[in-house]
Amino acid sequence: MSERTSETGGVATGVRVVRTRAELRAALAGRGSVALVPTMGALHGGHASLMRLARPAADVLVVSLFVNPTQFGPGEDYDAYPRTPEADLAVCEAAGVDVVFMPDVAEMYPDGPDASVMVDPGTLGTVLEGAARPTHFRGVLTVVAKLFAAVRPDVAVFGEKDFQQLALIRRMVRDLGLDVRVEGHPIVREDDGLAMSSRNVYLSADQHQQALALSRALGAGAEASVEGADAVLAAARAVLDAEPGVDVDYLVLADPFLNPVDDSFAGDARLLVAARVGTTRLLDNRGLHVGREGA
């Protein structure tokens, strides 16, 4: 267990950095209720907003910084995933975080990732992101379950940008009877509308402009929502098709439980898109009401 130490050797107070479960339990002993914000680091303003939401929810705020190998498939960017621990600790300190849990792979997977017991996400884990990345949600749910077991939070806060992930974590908590309240936080966007993501650093200036088609498409879909589900998808697709730099993986309109809907549907829904811009895969989504309000 240590205080945050900068690269220049100075010590910043207020944030305890722990790297093992034993150190974590010692840091939390007798300190009251606990809120957890799980992250893979490379923190940005969206992460900071999660911390600000979680800060008043409990006596102690814990942030985990761990790039989880089991949620990356073959050929994905695990080795290249941005790792900025010094900057991440500064973000945590500014947000009033009490404890930062920074385990290594051996701490989280004592026998190695390939030998670990894994959480099966069920059928919801096989569609949308699960169809494109078949092992992704198994890894996500496994590491979240491990973090819940290590931190034992009263509340855990996740962003809505990874909406399917949030839905699966809520289902895991319900189905396994885990004693933690899961809260979602609305997507935080750049000033130009791009959803904040650690992967945005991979985008060139031109690609950043191309990526804005995702948020524009969601907005166009929302504007057409009074005309029905087919109109939502057509309006969003038109925006995406007009941007040749965007390679769409999926564009789906679903109910709040992520069941796809047809044109007979009316009510609250979620419009989700995944696309590649260059080599960078981006996600975005937006809640909307299909049909006239009250339908």
Backbone angles phi, psi at 228, to 5 degrees: 115, 170
DSSP H or E run through 36: strand 34-39
Q: Estimate the crossing angle of helix 205-223 against helix 229-241, to 10 degrees.
A: 160
Spatial CB neighbours of 87, under 8 Å, sequence gap ≥ 6: 43
- As annotated, the active-site residues are 47
Tokens standing for residue 136: 């992704």
Place of tokens 């999660």: 50
With left for phi above 0 and alpha for psi between -120 and 50, is residue 118 left, alpha or beta? beta
Query: Among candidates 273, 294, 295, 268, which has minimal Cα distance to 283?
Result: 273
Distance (Å, whole) CA 196 – CA 205: 15
Query: Among candidates 94, 91, 84, 93, which has minimal Cα distance to 40?
Result: 84
